[in-house]
Chain A
Amino acid sequence: LQAMMQGESVSKPVLQVMNTRAIATGTGPPRYRVLMSDGVNTLSSFMLATQLNPLVEEERLSARCICQVNKFIVNSLKDGRRVVILMDLNVLKTADEVGGNIGNPQPYNEGQGQQRSAAPAANPAPSKPQQQNGNLSVAGPAAPKYHAPSNQFGKASAPSTVKTPGLSQAKVVPIASLNPYQSKWTICARVTQKGQIRTWSNSRGEGKLFSIELVDESGEIRATAFNDQADKFFPLIELNKVYYFTKGNLKTANKQYTAVKNDYEITFTNETSVVPCDDAQHLPAVQYDFVSISDLENMPKDSIVDIIGICKSYEDVTKITVKANNREVSKRNVHLMDTSGKLVTATLWGNEAEQFDGSRQPVIAIKGAKVSDFGGRSLSVLSSSTVVINPDSPEAFKLRGWYEFDSEGQLLECASISDVRGGAGAGANTNWKTLFEAKSENLGQGDKADFFSCVGTIVHLRKENCMYQACPSQDCNKKVIDQQNGLYRCEKCDREFPNFKYRMMLLVTIADCLEYQWVTCFQESAEFILGQNAAFLGELKEKNEQAFEEVFQNANFNTYEFRIRVKLETYNDESRIKATAMDVKPVNYREYGKRLIASIRSNAQLG
């Protein structure tokens, strides 16, 4: 014990537990404080690392038992006291086997470093417990009292060893040992994730912060810097580099915001210092745990995953306004594909969306993306996620090789599990239904419109009244009134025009194997189905009836994929389910075939 307290390195000391005491921490698991003895001295300033809590809770570690400490750290508190954190220990003999206290240990007084008995402080001969089993009950235990450490150590002068005059002599502690009971610590860790600066403003004021995740051989931990520290450190700290971090606040982690495995997290204070570390070979690099895109379909919504894929295509950045706080935010959808042949859409936000360059189909690795069920399955990049383009990792090279050289890679028409096609309005859930299912599930009868996609064949088109005369202004589609004097009036624009534009409103019946449905197709869908644009059709109707009819006949009995919006609508006191085609596309038979096969198989399972 003496050697331990004086900072000498002791390998695997065997100690007896005299007593354990739980200390409540308010939030989080209790900490256990242990009074230990080496037969010569007792010392109460032992804390059990939380991962060893079960040992006490299951009563394997209890007063009188003997244990061998495999890993411990000595921390110095502000007032010079030392606390030993027990990171890993084995119970050699349980309390009942031991029976009583060994020896006559005296409480250790740190100031009395000189008082050493001949036997070294550590390692009472392991054979002792067996022999003395019978005798122990006789030896009156020294009744080690459970002192508050201040009695013993309050006067101890600041020990000379181990204190850190300069940073270079700082003793580096493992991340796993960090806890709120010590504020002077130094860790050497690699930044595995760096978030963007986020600002907030609420009734209590505003501020900014950014978070990072740090890793070393013992574990990982999250750290956040606010306001001034955020400004100071954001440019300094780089992803994947190793630094010495000294002195920050430890508090219990808010597990809601992070997937990092640590009970605590660090907050930088104005005393915190960050110094680059050169000798970092021993530290693990950014840990990715990649999931293949096809597995995403089985993951529950809101889970956090790491993913890597080729950016097969990407969309332009768009700005949307967040209703909640009326702010404009940039977003961009990128489509990632991996060797499983599946495509997933990932949404990037803010700066990352704006600066994204997907040209030449880079490999993208995302750590900590959130799985959402938007459109099946898609990914959203959080502020705590990291997006790395063309990372320097074996998986990236493998992907690149597969994509470039394996012809499969490029030709692969992937099944998109995010099905973003024709997503009409935010929150549209693409789901494939047969018309029968759509009717039997009563889609559209709720308050909101329902959307679904289906494969259907056109079996009838209504030629009569398939077009109307609409306002020629750019964005106005209101029906104009024919003033009969060569002018047409639009009520919405409150203007009269000498012309109009034809707009289609085509009613078609589509059918699949079990059901049929009337669907209204507006301009784009109708033009697609008929294969002609509205203006031309308008002319045909007036000039060449036969050709006009032919267009409709040719359009009949074609099969397409329809994206349909159904809603209960009330018109003149009558409520009816109305279906509108939001989008009409040629059938992608490959996808359709895959869906059918999957559906057959799952139905077969149901017996």
Chain B
Amino acid sequence: MGDIHEVPRPRIAAGHLAQYIGQPVCFVGRVEKIHPTGKFFVLSDGVGKHTTVELSEPLDEEISGIVEVVGRVTNQATIMCMSYVQFREDKSPFDLELYNEALNIIHEFPEYFPFG
């Protein structure tokens, strides 16, 4: 699945997971919990819904704060993570609710925000 970075991957919120099963997506959320094995972690989105992210290899570093995950949605509505990026919050906090609002708009007006 190395090609996942070549394909368009829409940004989604937790509520959209069901519609994008099997598809590559981009998900931004706040780290809530990390499984002790380091193979799963849970992110919460702007409205507080939780999503589980799975990794093919366990995490080799501590992650916290806001993370953007690129991966594929599994049949269980979790995300199989291909890559992730941590957002820096030292300059200003990331407004997750605002991000969610923006996501709502993107999905409401697909004619103006086409995906690839």
Whether B102 and A593, one on each chain, are in contact in the complex, defined by CB atoms closer than 8 angstroms, is yes
Q: Does B115 contact A (CB under 8 A)?
A: no
Complex Cα spacing A594 to B99, Å? 10
Q: Which of A3-21 contact B (CB under 8 A)?
A: none
Asked if A590 is at the interface of the complex by the 8 Å CB criterion, the answer is: yes
Say yes or no: A590 contacts B109, CB within 8 Å.
no
Stretch with Cβ within 8 A of A (4 or more), from B31-39, B41-49, B90-98? B90-98
Question: In the complex, how many residue pairs between chain A and chain B have their CB atoms under 8 Å apart?
Answer: 22
Chain A minimum-CB-distance residue to B95: A590
- Cβ-closest chain A residue relative to B99: A593
Shortest CB distance A52–B (Å): 52
C-alpha gap A597/B101 in the complex (Å): 7
The answer for the CA separation of A594 and B105 in the assembled complex, in Å, is 12
Nearest B residue to A600 via CB reads B105
A-B contacts, 11 listed (Cβ < 8 Å): A411-B93, A413-B93, A413-B95, A590-B92, A590-B95, A593-B95, A594-B98, A594-B101, A600-B105, A604-B108, A604-B109
- Chain A residues with CB under 8 Å of chain B are 411, 413, 590, 593-594, 597, 600-601, 604
Tell me which residues from 71 to 116 in chain B have a Cβ below 8 Å from any Cβ of chain A.
92-93, 95, 98, 101-102, 105, 108-109
- Give the chain B neighbours of A604 by CB distance below 8 A: 108-109
Residues of B within 8 A of A593 (CB): 95, 98, 101-102
Task: State in angstroms the CA–CA spacing of A593 and B95 once bound together.
Answer: 10
Asked if A597 contacts B92 (CB within 8 A), the reply is no
A601 cross-chain contacts in B, Cβ below 8 A: 105
Q: Which residues of the other chain, B, contact A600 by a CB distance below 8 angstroms?
A: 105, 109
* Distance in Å: Cβ of A441 to nearest Cβ of chain B: 24
Q: B102 contacts A597, CB within 8 Å?
A: yes
Once bound together, how far apart are the Cα atoms of A604 and B108, in whole Å? 10
Cα distance A413–B92 when bound, in Å? Answer: 9
Q: Find out whether the CB atom of B93 lies under 8 angstroms from the CB atom of A597.
A: no
Interface residue from A411, A413, A590, A597 paired with B105 (Cβ < 8 Å)? A597
Min C-beta distance of A415 to chain B, whole Å: 10
Docked pose: A594 CA to B97 CA in angstroms: 10
Cβ distance B110 to chain A, nearest Cβ, rounded Å = 13
Pairs of residues from A and B, 6 with the lowest C-beta to C-beta distance, nearest first? A411-B93, A597-B101, A590-B95, A593-B98, A600-B105, A597-B105
Residues on A with C-beta less than 8 A from B108 are: 604
Q: A413-B92, A590-B95, A597-B101 are in contact. List 13 more A-B contacts (CB 8 A).
A: A411-B93, A590-B92, A590-B98, A593-B95, A593-B98, A593-B101, A593-B102, A597-B98, A597-B102, A597-B105, A600-B105, A600-B109, A601-B105
Complex: chain A residue closest to B93, CB-CB: A411
Contacts of B98 in A (CB 8 A): 590, 593-594, 597
CB distance from A585 to the nearest CB of B (A): 14
Residue of A nearest to B94 (CB): A590
B74 to chain A, nearest CB (A): 31
Residue on B nearest A601 in the bound complex, by CB: B105
A282 smallest CB distance to B (angstroms): 45
Using Cβ atoms and an 8 Å threshold, which residues of chain A touch B102? Answer: 593, 597
**A601 CA / B108 CA spacing, docked (Å):** 10
CB-CB < 8 A to A597: which residues of B? 98, 101-102, 105
Interface string of B8-47 (1 = CB under 8 A from A): 0000000000000000000000000000000000000000
> Which residues from chain A contact B105 at a C-beta distance below 8 Å?
597, 600-601
The complex places the Cα of A590 from the Cα of B105 at a distance, in Å, of 16
Residues of B within 8 A of A594 (CB): 98, 101
Separation of A413 and B95 alpha carbons in the complex (Å): 9
- CB proximity of A409 to chain B, nearest CB, Å: 12
The CA of A601 and the CA of B101, in the complex, are separated in Å by: 10
Q: Please, which residue of chain A has its CB at the minimum distance from the CB of B104?
A: A597
Expressed in whole angstroms, the Cα–Cα distance for A529 and B109 within the complex equals: 35
B residues less than 8 Å from A413 (CB atoms): 92-93, 95
Kindly provide the distance from the CB of A301 to the nearest chain B CB, expressed in whole angstroms. Answer: 28
Smallest CB–CB gap between A519 and chain B, Å?
27
Q: How far is the CA of A411 from the CA of B92 in the complex (A)?
A: 9
Nearest-CB distance from A462 to chain B (Å)? Answer: 32
Q: Give A411 to B109 CA distance when docked, in angstroms.
A: 31
The complex places the Cα of A597 from the Cα of B102 at a distance, in Å, of 7
Q: How far does the alpha carbon of A590 sit from the alpha carbon of B108 in the complex, in Å?
A: 20
Please measure, in the bound complex, the distance between the C-alpha atom of A17 and the C-alpha atom of B92, giving whole angstroms. 74
- How distant is B42 from chain A, measured CB to nearest CB, in Å? 20
Question: In the bound complex, what is the Cα–Cα distance between A375 and B89 (angstroms)?
Answer: 30
Nearest-neighbour CB distance to chain B for A606, whole angstroms, equals 14
Q: How far is the CA of A583 from the CA of B101 in the complex (A)?
A: 29
- CB contacts (< 8 Å) of B93 on chain A: these are 411, 413
Q: A463 CB to closest chain B CB, in angstroms? A: 31
Closest-CB distance, A370 to chain B (whole angstroms): 31
* Cβ of B105 to closest chain A Cβ, rounded Å: 5
Q: Distance in Å from the Cβ of B101 to the closest Cβ of chain A?
A: 5
* Across-interface contacts of A411 in B (CB, < 8 A): 93
Question: Chain A's nearest CB lies how many Å from the CB of B71?
Answer: 25
Residues of A within 8 A of B101 (CB): 593-594, 597
Nearest chain B CB to A403's CB is how many angstroms away?
16
CB of A259 to closest CB in B, whole Å:
35
Cα-based distance from A600 to B108 in the complex (angstroms): 11
B109 surroundings in chain A (CB, below 8 A): 600, 604
Q: How far is the CA of A594 from the CA of B102 in the complex (A)?
A: 9
